Amino acid sequence: MLTDLTLIELRDKLWAGDVTSVQATEAVLARIAAVDGRLLSFLTVTPEIALAQAQSADQRLAQGERTPLLGIPVALKAIICNKDVPTSAGSKILEGFRPPYDAFVTQQLKQAGAVILGMTNTDEFAMGSSTENSAYQTTRNPWNTALVPGGSSGGSAAAVAAGLTFGALGSDTGGSIRQPAALCNVVGLRPTYGRVSRWGVVAYASSLDQVGPLGRDVRSAAAVLSTIAGHDERDSTSLPHPVPNYEAALTGDIRGLRVGVPREYFVEGIQPDVEAAVRSAIQKLADLGAEIVEISLPHTHYALPIYYLIATAEASANLARYDGIRFGPRIQGTDVRDTTMKTRGLFGPEVKNRIMLGTFVLSAGYYDAYYGKALKARTLLGRDFQRAFEQVDVIATPTSPSTAFPIGERAADPIAMYLSDIYTVSLNLSAGCGISIPCGFDGAGLPIGLQLLANTLQEPTLLNAAFAYEQATEWGKQRCQL
């Protein structure tokens, strides 16, 4: 079936003329109609727009144009502005919002000739690790629909894993691309902060948010990154560095690559099957010629509290605009205060929790005690990584301490839920880039992810290390049965 192909395999067929973009688009739209009623990975599907884009792509292909994503059906996480298409961020406070413009990444995809199928589900404002915090629906894991797909980009990860799209964009504030990628057996890449513009992306925590791709294999993720990366003057944090050809970096040769293994990441609490699979993956890297080096990231145990102080503080500031006056709907009250309170009542419980925590740590008398200290600790954590990258080229860790868990299991225990991101938040707080790739299955047949991290703008090295492992194993080729 066409929907079993990777993005790159479909591209090869498009370039050879064996299939048209319209045929590929019709195939995934039919699969969405057939199975997404069980998965609930999409919030909005736009078949008319997608087929029109596919027809345009076929014309460009017929004229001999060959670009990495021309004619490829992809999906967007519902926090990424897509002109005139509902972009709710998974929240009732943005229900029915149709952006009057495209985000930078959406522009890049459209200019490249990609076919945009619609908007995927997300935890509200990307705040969550299971996609259970969406105000609209809970996405199911395609490997077992009683389980979560991870979050907050769970809709994108589930859609890619189930063959509902050939690639998707997610966002990663504390692991929201990598963690669902691990739980759904796909590849998820969090680029260097500033490598991909955040312009037109609904903000959660501005110093941590980063858009990145999800795909069925490493080459697919590289092709998408090559398209969406680049400088954007509308984003003050956008990096001005030229964009390399990420696909060309995938040689598969990692002889002499130094791979760091942080001792702090293999501690009590990790699921035994996960530890075994990740250690086996590290050994495979050694078999391929990499040098394995034990390293230390001593401030790792502070990462979660640092993250939940800084991220919530930034969320408190960013979400202040949804007040019934400037942004979002207005629920009229008796006065301005009452109007604001009623309007903000549309926020879900998790978003309210994070706004309140963020407002508290920024308030007079507590700023220095909490937020100020968190910023200083973030600096120390960043120095840990810089020292580590003086010794090694990449760092190898588990992506998640466990495989997918049952829907509702951690809903009443926020600490257990937050621990889902214990291996991913450090990267967002420091620098560099990270990727999750399939590396095995647990005893229940659920996917396990290997996380690789590299220094700032070292995506070519990171992708090649991931590619070498992927080519030497069969984990990523396994498909879920729906």
Q: What is the amino acid identity at position 248?
A: A
Rounded CA gap, 20 and 202, in Å? 34
Q: What is the amino acid identity at position 368?
A: D
Cα-to-chain-centroid distance, residue 107: 19
- Residue 478, in any domain of the structure: no
- Residue 480, in any domain of the structure: no
- Residue 92, in any domain of the structure: yes
Q: pLDDT, tens digit, for every residue of 239-283?
A: 999 999 999 999 999 999 999 999 999 988 899 999 999 999 999
Catalytic residue chosen out of the listed positions 21, 129, 130, 152: 152
Q: Name the strand (E) or helix (H) holding 295.
A: strand 291-295
Q: pLDDT, tens digit, for every residue of 103-146?
A: 999 999 999 999 999 999 999 999 999 999 999 999 999 999 99
Please name the residue that has the structure tokens 């207005």: 330
CA-based torsion, 174, 180, 185, 186: positive or negative: negative
Asked if residue 208 has pLDDT above 90, the reply is yes
- Residue 209, in any domain of the structure: yes
Contacts of residue 62, defined as CB under 8 A and 6 or more positions apart, other chains included, come to none
Known catalytic membership, residue 206: no
What CATH number is given to the structural domain containing 33?
3.90.1300.10
Q: What is the pLDDT of the chain when averaged over all its residues?
A: 96
Q: DSSP string of 41-103?
A: -EEEE-HHHHHHHHHHHHHHHHTT---TTTT-EEEEETTB--TTS---TT-GGGTT---SS--
Query: How many domains is the chain built from?
Result: 1
Q: Name the strand (E) or helix (H) holding 281.
A: helix 272-287
pLDDT, average across residues 79-87: 98
% of the chain exceeding 90 in pLDDT: 93
C-beta atoms surrounding 390 within 10 Å: 8
Range of the domain at 50: 2-254
Known catalytic membership, residue 110: no
- Residue 112, in any domain of the structure: yes
Task: Report yes or no: 166 and 6 within 8 Å, Cβ to Cβ.
Answer: yes
Q: What CA–CA distances, in Å, run from 477 to 4, 6, 154, 281, 463?
A: 10, 10, 20, 16, 17
Catalytic residue chosen out of the listed positions 41, 77, 420, 426: 77
**Could you give the 3-state DSSP secondary structure of residue 282?**
helix
- Residue 302, in any domain of the structure: no
pTM of the model: 0.97
- Residue 344, in any domain of the structure: no
Catalytic residue chosen out of the listed positions 171, 176, 316, 402: 176
Known catalytic membership, residue 130: no
Q: What is the amino acid identity at position 237?
A: T
Q: pLDDT, tens digit, for every residue of 214-244?
A: 999 999 999 999 999 999 999 999 999 999 9
Q: pLDDT, tens digit, for every residue of 379-423?
A: 999 999 999 999 999 999 999 999 999 999 998 888 889 889 999
